[in-house]
């Protein structure tokens, strides 16, 4: 998700919500929990009584400004959820480094792909996961969180695709970041997710892979040679992700 000019996010100390300030005088949920409404509130008159405060905070919005602020907040929330982190490159020389998102349904040309970092972590429920152990198979990696509304909508589709394609040279793994483990476990149970899930509260796995962790969901595809073949920012659609997986499976390893 490209950052929208004028937007800035800050993680609340209580919970995992992130706040959006789209325009002066308005506050809204940049990435609220899935069961929380998106609320936009205007400052009270008393907040603006001080001329100094008015200069610091900017003018009150007109009716058109209200509409624009609402639309900006809605676009950001529906596109991807912010985690309060910007992309940081943590890859080794020669490995994949994120430059821009891959267009939905497409993959990076084979000649331009770079090796994926050796993503690894602890599985929810016990055990460990290491990406390098899945060389020779096409791997889908989905970064998500239980409080991310687009992730909630995307999850049943990913599970359906996994059920259709598992055992045919494809592996899926979910990476739960910036979340509470109990909330993640409840989400997995409620959504009946069956593919492996790594719990990674600090989002170290994103740095290992060399992709941004500043918005959710993020889905990466790894080809059979262990190279990053796609990084999709925001929710994916079955009509896009399934053909992309099949295209990678048809390639020579």
Question: Which domains are assigned to the chain?
Answer: 9-79 (no CATH), 110-250 (3.40.30.10)
Percentage of the chain exceeding pLDDT 90: 59
Within 10 A of 106 (CB to CB), how many other CB atoms are there? 14
Q: How far apart are CA 158 and CA 22, in angstroms?
A: 31
Residue 166: the pLDDT is: 86
Torsion angle, alpha carbons of 36, 104, 130, 86, to 10:
-60
What's 126's DSSP letter?
Answer: S
26 touches 42 (CB < 8 A): yes
Q: State the pLDDT at residue 92.
A: 63
As beta bridge partners, residue 173 has 141
Q: What global pTM score does this model have? A: 0.69
**pLDDT value for 19:** 31
pLDDT of residue 82: 62
For residue 125, the model assigns a pLDDT of 87
**Residues of the chain where predicted confidence (pLDDT) is lower than 70:** 1-80, 82-93
Whole-number pLDDT of residue 96: 96
């Amino acid at each position: 998700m490209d950052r929208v000019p004028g937007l800035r996010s800050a993680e609340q100390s209580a919970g995992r919500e992130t706040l959006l300030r789209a325009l002066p005088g308005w506050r809204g949920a940049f990435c609220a929990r899935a069961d929380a409404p998106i609320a936009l509130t205007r400052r009270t008159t008393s907040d603006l009584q001080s001329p100094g405060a008015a200069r610091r905070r900017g003018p009150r919005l007109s009716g058109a400004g209200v509409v624009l602020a609402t639309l900006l907040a809605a676009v950001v929330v529906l596109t991807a959820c912010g985690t309060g982190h910007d992309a940081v490159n943590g890859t080794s020389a020669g490995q994949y480094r994120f430059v821009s998102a891959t267009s939905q349904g497409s993959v990076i040309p084979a000649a331009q792909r770079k090796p994926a970092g050796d993503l690894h972590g602890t599985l929810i429920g016990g055990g460990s996961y290491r990406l390098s152990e899945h060389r020779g198979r096409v791997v889908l990696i989905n970064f998500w969180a239980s409080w991310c509304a687009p992730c909630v909508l995307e999850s049943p589709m990913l599970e359906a695709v996994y059920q259709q394609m598992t055992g045919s040279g494809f592996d899926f793994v979910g990476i739960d970041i910036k979340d509470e483990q109990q909330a993640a476990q409840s989400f997995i149970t409620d959504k009946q997710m069956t593919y492996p899930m790594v719990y990674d509260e600090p989002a170290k796995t994103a740095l290992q892979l060399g992709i941004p962790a500043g918005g959710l969901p993020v889905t990466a595809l790894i080809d059979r040679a262990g190279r990053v073949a796609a990084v999709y920012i925001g929710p994916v659609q079955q009509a896009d992700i399934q053909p992309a997986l099949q295209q990678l499976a048809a390639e020579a390893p």
